[in-house]
Structures are given as C-alpha cells and as structure tokens.
C-alpha cells in the first residue's frame, strides 16, 4: 500500500514509518523537523521536509496514497500552556489543512494520533476500590485541561466532521503515555520516562511532582504501532475514537521504583509538593480497541523499560554498552 505519514521524523512517526516500509509498503514521510530527526528514518522512507499546513506540498505528497497517518503535532502539555496559539495553528490548523488536501486529492482514509489527554480529570469514573470503574472508556465526556488536550479534541472533531462531509473514512486513536527508544527528551519539558532514565543513569535527581500518587497508563511504542497498523485495514472504524494504552495504571512513585530497580545507582528522589501532578488518574479501558482492532498490548512496563534502555543508543552509551 501507499502511505503518507505526517510527523514521520518524530518518535512514533519514525517507528511507524520504519515498520511499514520494512513490511514492503511505499511510505512517504512529511515533517518540518521542528523536533523530529530525519536520521531516525530508514533510507526506504521517502522523506519530505515541510509544514503540515502547506497544502500545495500536501497535494503532491497525497497523489496515489491509500491511507494517511496524521501524527504531526506539537506535543508538550506544559509548552501548550505557554504557547496556545501555536498549538492551535499546528494541531488544529494542520489537521484542517490535511483534511482539505485529502478531499481535494481524493484520499479515502486517515488515522489520527489523538491523545488520552483529552479526557482530563474524570473523577466520577475513578472511584477508589472499584477496579472496573477506574478505567476510562471512550463514552466518558472529555474534559480537556490544557491547550494541547483541547487541540487534540478539536482535531478529532474536525477529521470526523470533514470526513463525514466528503466521504473520507476517519478514526482517531487516543494514545495514552507512549514511551520507548527514540523518544525526544527536550530540556525544558522532557517526557517522564526518558527523563527519569537519563537522570538515573547520571546518578542525578528525580523530581516527582506533588506526592507522586498520580497515575498514568504507560504504553510501549511497539504496542502503539500494532494498534496504528491494525487500523489501516480494519472494517467498521469510520468516525470512531479508540483508546490505545496498556490498560494498566502506574503511579509516578511506582515508575520511579521500576526505573531505579532496572538501573541500580545512586539517584536521589525528591518530592516537590508545590508542583501540581496534573491529572490525578489515567488508565485506558481497551474494550473497544480489542473489539475493533484485535488490540492486545503485550509489553509490561518492566519489559518496555528494559527494551528502551537496550535499543536507545543515547542510553547504551551511558551504560557503557558497545555493541
């Protein structure tokens, strides 16, 4: 098949592009390299540097494409608080530009990387002691708490609405906290998993916001890729949003323990009660993903952390691994 992946040089985009091209598909990648790294892509991926708002470029890249994966976005929650206009322009405006161009060219299917962040805090779904009720289903009313989350929710609505108007099949996968080799570690707002790994390897300090009891659903990149690729051809997805996570709830305290057990050292853990831990609990209900995508996450947090260490050259160097 012929694919276009926006945001192809990013963490998830490059893993997806390399996976699809390894399977023999024709893969075009678009990325403005604002955070992505072109060198993460295999030479078989046809890469174009450009902005997802550049419709003439999209018209060219979309010729003969069967399915589009839309991953290009600004992805930091704290950064979005500072620059909401930019998040709106790229995450919402870029999505609308892509949908217009798909309509113009006649491409029939798009799979968008949305986010579990759209749910925000949903305390009514997370009563303590009720395990089944703790998981977040797609039926829960989103309550976005950051410009990033709003932009993802708006993008979901745009692709579904424009898709329905023009006969384009759309599906949004609400990915929870993905991690794995190659994830970006920007200095100002690093994602928690690679940040804790880096700090532990340096015998540095792990700063835990608030009491560290806030939970997240950490999902390994290979499981995310299996959900994205299953969405390529699965029937009956049109207009849906589908959760993609591990289905397991892990507190930040537990994450610290998991990382420091795998990387023994002298890292110091500090709790900062003055900083909000953000949304208090996050855990994806995966019933719909199982039904529609036959999705079954297979990698535990411990396994995923070990694979991240083994496969990411930045960490290997610090561990002294030479091959």
Cα–Cα distance, 46 to 63 (Å, whole number):
13
Q: How far is the CB of 10 from ligand NAD (least distance, A)?
A: 2
Q: Which is nearer to ligand NAD, 52 or 153 (CB)?
A: 52
- What are residue 18's phi and psi, to 5 degrees? -65, -40
Shorter beta-carbon distance to ligand NAD: residue 67 or 322 = 67
Residue 6 has which token pair? 């926006």
Q: Exactly one of 69, 87, 119, 148 is catalytic; which is it? A: 148
Calpha distance 41→284 (Å, rounded): 30
- Name which of 215, 242, 228, 163 is nearest 27 in CA terms: 228
Residue (94 or 247) nearer to ligand NAD, CB: 94
Nearer to ligand NAD, 251 or 271 (CB): 251
Query: Which residues contact ligand NAD by CB under 6 A?
Result: 7, 9-13, 30-36, 51-52, 71-75, 90, 94, 113, 115, 175, 177-178, 184
Tell me how far apart the alpha carbons of residues 193 and 256 are, in angstroms, rounded to a whole number. 9
Token pair belonging to 265: 């050292």
Token pair listed for 232: 């390529």
For 10, list phi and psi in degrees, rounded to 5.
Answer: -85, -175
Q: What b/e readout covers 130-149, taking b as 16+ CB neighbours within 10 angstroms? A: eeeebbbebebebebbbbbb
Nearer to ligand NAD among residue 88 and residue 199 (C-beta): 88
Task: Name, in order, each residue with C-beta under 8 angstroms of 46's C-beta and a sequence gap of 6 or more.
Answer: 26, 27, 28, 29
69 noted as active-site residue: no
| Cα–Cα dist 291/23, whole Å | 24
* Residues annotated catalytic, as ranges: 148
């Amino acid at each position: 098949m012929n694919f276009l992946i926006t945001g192809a040089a990013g963490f998830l985009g490059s893993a997806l592009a390399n996976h699809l091209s390894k399977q023999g598909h024709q893969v075009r990648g678009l990325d403005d390299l604002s955070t992505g790294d072109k060198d993460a892509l295999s030479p078989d991926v046809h890469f174009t540097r450009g902005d997802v708002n550049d419709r003439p470029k999209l018209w060219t890249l979309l010729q003969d494409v069967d399915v589009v994966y839309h991953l290009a976005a600004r992805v930091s929650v704290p950064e979005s608080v500072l620059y909401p206009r930019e998040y709106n322009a790229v995450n919402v405006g870029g999505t609308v530009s892509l949908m217009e161009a798909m309509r113009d060219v006649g491409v029939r299917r798009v799979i968008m990387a949305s986010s579990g962040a759209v749910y925000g805090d949903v305390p009514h779904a997370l009563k303590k002691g009720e395990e089944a009720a703790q998981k977040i289903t797609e039926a829960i009313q989103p309550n976005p708490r950051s410009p990033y989350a709003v932009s993802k929710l708006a993008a979901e609505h745009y692709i579904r609405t424009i898709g329905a108007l023009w006969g384009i099949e759309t599906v949004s996968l609400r990915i929870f906290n993905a991690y794995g080799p190659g994830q970006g570690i920007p200095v100002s707002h690093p994602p928690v998993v690679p940040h804790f790994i880096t700090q532990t390897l340096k015998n540095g300090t792990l700063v835990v916001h608030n009491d560290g009891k806030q939970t997240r659903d950490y999902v390994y990149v290979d499981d995310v890729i299996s959900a994205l690729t299953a969405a390529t051809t699965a029937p009956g997805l049109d207009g849906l949003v589908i959760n993609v996570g591990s289905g397991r709830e892990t507190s930040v305290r537990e994450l610290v323990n998991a990382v420091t057990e795998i990387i023994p050292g002298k890292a110091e853990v500090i709790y900062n009660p003055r900083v909000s831990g953000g949304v208090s609990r996050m855990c994806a209900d995966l019933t719909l993903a199982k039904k529609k995508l036959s999705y079954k996450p297979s990698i535990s947090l411990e396994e995923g952390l070990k694979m991240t260490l083994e496969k990411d050259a930045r960490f290997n160097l610090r561990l002294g691994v030479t091959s």
